[in-house]
A and B are shown apart, each in its own frame.
Chain A
Amino acid sequence: MLSRLKSIIPALIPFVVLTASVELAVRQGWVHSYLVPAPSQVLRAMIDSRDELFTAVASTSASALLGFALSTIGGIAVAVFLSSSRPIQRAFYPYAVFFQTVPIIAIAPLLVIWFGYGMRTVVASAFVVSIFPVIANTLTGILSTEPPLRDLFRLYGASTWTTLVKLRFPSALPQILTGLRVAAGLAVIGAIVGEFIGGQGLGSVVDVARTQQRVDKVFAAVLLASVLGLALFGLINLVSYFTLRRWHASEQ
């Protein structure tokens, strides 16, 4: 336990230095607080608005998690479908790429038209933004199954489905988890963008605080959004640790 704590210290040092410098700069008047709030002000904003922020964090978390869950399931399903044959891959993969390249900002208003104001649009936004890494990584993982192992399964008459479930999917798991790590952070971002357009959550807090020139509150909400992203990322790492720890180099 102690060694785990010790390993965090190098990461904390820049944070402490940066925070202290900004605090000093604002107090001394070198930087205006209406441009960059002092960390103490951000903290104050968090405490003062804790009820509102708590509700917002809960809302954004729920939306991001749901969007992420949908892109995990959907992304893996699409990748499995794409892996079934080369012609299918060629036909449909470009459309999967679409999910990565289309700017969410441009289609978010469309999402409101289709899903209305509120959580459904936020979840849809999180989904759209986070699904592509799941598809791409899962597909790569599935297609990278060692040919001799595929031969082995063929030799003993395994059906396509059996091969998928017992060989290709477990084999792809490390790659899938990599995709999920990326998707987790993107889901939070997607949720916040959706909230700018559709209302509620941390995105709404940021938007409203901005119009009130409450930079401290903006920073507080943005910070909480990052923490949320980190938490989700950490969750994936935990899952990865438990599923891969006996057999994959990445967890050894």
Chain B
Amino acid sequence: MSAPDSVHGGVAGGVDVDLRGVRKAFQSLTVIEHLDLSIASGEFLAILGPSGCGKSTLLRMIARLLEPDAGSVTISPDDRFQTAYVFQDAHLLPWRNVLDNAALPLELMGVARDERHARARAALRETELTEAENRYPAELSGGMRMRVSLARALVTSPRLLLLDEPFAALDEMTRFRLDLRLRQLWASRGMTVIFVTHSISEAVFLANRAVVLARRLGRIKLDRPLNLPERNEDLRLDPRYGREVKTLFSAMEEE
């Protein structure tokens, strides 16, 4: 379909996501009561909130893995296979090697072997994991596994990339490197990214918009853009960084 070296295996760009009056309850517990949220194409949105506030539920509804009890989730454009999801743990298939793991989405979509291997290799290059392609997950470190998971998400050139605290289990250096890589990938591809995290500093570093959810009922406590300069190791020295962190921290603190 496209030259193996190109970053964009398919279409570029992102999607608009619109949630209107979304409600979700599990048995007697209402996790999200009434949520309105609009995300523009190409945005990098960070969603913050304490445990149990409904962040993951929200993400899964956007991925259409879950149906809301009321309200609507509108995505435009709404093509098949345009969404990718990265979980908290890498969740690779242990009986397949790295290359086949990265190629899995294409395999499920029916793409032929040679092509999907080529595209998987390209994705692995993006996540700096080429030498490992024949190894098995059991032989990899946590950080490397997460890179494979990321490559797997990118292999379809998704327009909508959803991540649920993907780097939480990694050490700080690896986390920083992957944050940086993710930011670069977003910049070059222009997809819509929604990143759920516990970490305020990570949210500020990565995103250009942050939403803070309340402890209960999925209420939005804070929704603000994050206009910060170039993302690199020196960002944390910039006073604006510290100010944004403080703002978000206060929003999360009261309750």
Contact = CB atoms under 8 A, between A and B. Distances in A.
Direct contact of A and B (CB under 8 A): yes
Interface of A: 146, 148-149, 151-158, 162, 166-167, 170-171, 173, 246-249, 252
A252 B136 CA distance: 13
B138 A155 contact: no
A170 B109 contact: no
A246 to B, nearest CB: 5
Contacts of A151: 60, 63, 65, 85, 87
Contacts of B14: none
Interface string B129-167: 000000011100000000000000000100000000000
A149 B83 contact: no
A170 B108 contact: no
A170 B63 contact: no
Given A155-B83, A157-B109, A173 B95 contact: yes
Identify the 10 closest CB pairs spanning chains A and B, nearest first: A156-B108, A247-B94, A148-B87, A148-B91, A158-B108, A247-B95, A156-B105, A170-B95, A246-B136, A151-B65
A247 B137 contact: yes
B128 interface: no
B249 interface: no
29 contacts: A146-B91, A148-B88, A148-B89, A148-B91, A149-B93, A151-B60, A151-B63, A151-B85, A152-B104, A153-B108, A154-B65, A155-B84, A155-B85, A156-B108, A156-B109, A156-B156, A157-B80, A157-B81, A158-B108, A166-B108, A170-B93, A170-B95, A173-B95, A246-B95, A246-B136, A247-B137, A248-B94, A249-B138, A252-B138
Contacts of B60: 151
Contacts of A167: 93
A252 B137 CA distance: 13
A90 B93 CA distance: 30
Contacts of A155: 63, 65, 83-85, 105
A159 to B, nearest CB: 9
Nearest to B81: A156
B136 A157 contact: no
A167 B136 CA distance: 16
A115 to B, nearest CB: 39
Interface string B57-88: 00010010100000000000000110111011
Nearest to A170: B95
Contact of A247 (B87, B88, B104, B138): B138
Contacts of B83: 155
Contacts of B95: 170, 173, 246-247
Nearest to A146: B91
Nearest to A246: B136
A125 B206 CA distance: 64
B157 to A, nearest CB: 13
Contacts of B109: 156-157
B39 to A, nearest CB: 19
Interface in B84-142: 84-85, 87-89, 91, 93-95, 104-105, 107-109, 136-138
A172 to B, nearest CB: 11
A39 B85 CA distance: 65
A146 B149 CA distance: 15
Given A156-B105, A156-B109, A158-B108, A247 B136 contact: yes
A160 B108 CA distance: 12
A156 B105 CA distance: 6
B108 A162 contact: yes
